[in-house]
Amino acid sequence: MRSREFHLAARPTGEPRLSDLQLVTVDVPEPERGQVVVRNTWMSVDPYMRGRMDDVPSYIPPFAIGAPLEGSALGEVIASRAPGVPVGATVVHFAGWREIAVVEAADVTVVDPALAGPEAWLGPLGMTGLTAWVAVTEIAPVRPGDTVFVSAAAGAVGSVAGQLARKAGAAVVIGSAGGPEKAKKLVADLGFDHGLDHRAGPIADQLAAAAPDGIDVYVDNVGGDHLQAALASARLGARFALVGGISGYNGDAVGVTNTYQSVVRRATLRGMLVTEWTHLAPVWVQRAAGWLADGSLRTESTVVDGLEAAPEAFLGLLRGKNTGKMLVRL
């Protein structure tokens, strides 16, 4: 059996180029005891993958030159040497960027395709949905009456975080996005009170106008000028969930100069890695599946077709061309 997969060909400087990734064809090894063979049908591209292309210490090892990339994927088990994961099972795992993967059975999660469609298992029912939930319940808990600000609010994490903030009793939910259409969608489709277009002018001015009395909670997916704006608008005792910093992933981050505001406002700024919260995934899936079914949690995906289109999808994600989760249908 043969499979195509993407390898890291070169470490990017600044924004990645298509030539930094190489599509190769490899032989698929026979599974050993405790392993399964998965034919991937969907895969995810995510902002954190940019950091793994740099050879720098981080919370997760960097991608190796000449080795396959990794990421969340969903597929069907086509061969198994693990009794608990039968042939035909639908599984989620971390060996994306390839058509066929040999995976340890301990590293796959069997999911119920009747509970939700494949896109949901890589989006709202997957790590991005769990990230949003943990952000607004554990890291920066939203309380009834709060004013909440979410950056990259049209993305996979932000779009869910804003809706969950409302479910938690937030009085005002504000989101930022890139472009007027996305900003309008936040209000029209996702229930935000204000949609700010960060391309239309300084985000600090827009946030101050939308929340003249300040904000209680900030879910940060951007960093840079958005974090600076949130600090400037922080109320006493504000709570910040630092989830990501996509504005600086290509090495062009804007510095934050007003961190002393966290002292003045006695604000809490807490970073999070969703990998430390996976023990809550079953609880999240149980809750979120019901909300998806009854329509009280709405999500979108941007889908491209074919493994060969994955690099373009990844670059598009870094440029903000997606609404909701960016997925590749193999």
d(CA 212, CA 238): 15
List per-residue pLDDT tens for the chain, 330 residues long.
999 999 999 999 999 999 999 999 999 999 999 999 999 999 999 999 999 999 999 999 999 999 999 999 999 999 999 999 999 999 999 999 999 999 999 999 999 999 999 999 999 999 999 999 999 999 999 999 999 999 999 999 999 999 999 999 999 999 999 999 999 999 999 999 999 999 999 999 999 999 999 999 999 999 999 999 999 999 999 999 999 998 888 877 778 999 999 999 999 999 999 999 999 999 999 999 999 999 999 999 999 999 999 999 999 999 999 999 999 999
| Full-model pTM | 0.92
Instruction: Determine the CATH number of domain 127-275.
Output: 3.40.50.720
CA distance 135 to 140: 6
Question: Residue ranges of the domains in the chain?
Answer: 2-123+299-329, 127-275
Write down the architecture of domain 2-123+299-329 according to CATH. Answer: Alpha-Beta Complex (3.90)
Res 324: pLDDT: 93
Three state DSSP letters for the chain: CEEEEEEECCCCCCCCCHHHEEEEEEECCCCCCCEEEEEEEEEECCCCHHHHCCCCCCCCCCCCECCECCECEEEEEEEECCCCCCCCCEEEECECCECEEEEEHHHCEECCCCCCCHHHHHCCCCHHHHHHHHHHHHHCCCCCCCEEEECCCCEHHHHHHHHHHHHCCCCEEEEEECCHHHHHHHHHCCCCCEEEECCCCCHHHHHHHHCCCCEEEEEECCCHHHHHHHHHCEEEEEEEEECCCHHHCCCCCCCCCCCCHHHHCCCEEEECCHHHCHHHHHHHHHHHHHHHHHCCCCCCEEEEECHHHHHHHHHHHHCCCCCEEEEEEC
The pLDDT value given to residue 317: 94
CB atoms within 10 A of CB 168: 16
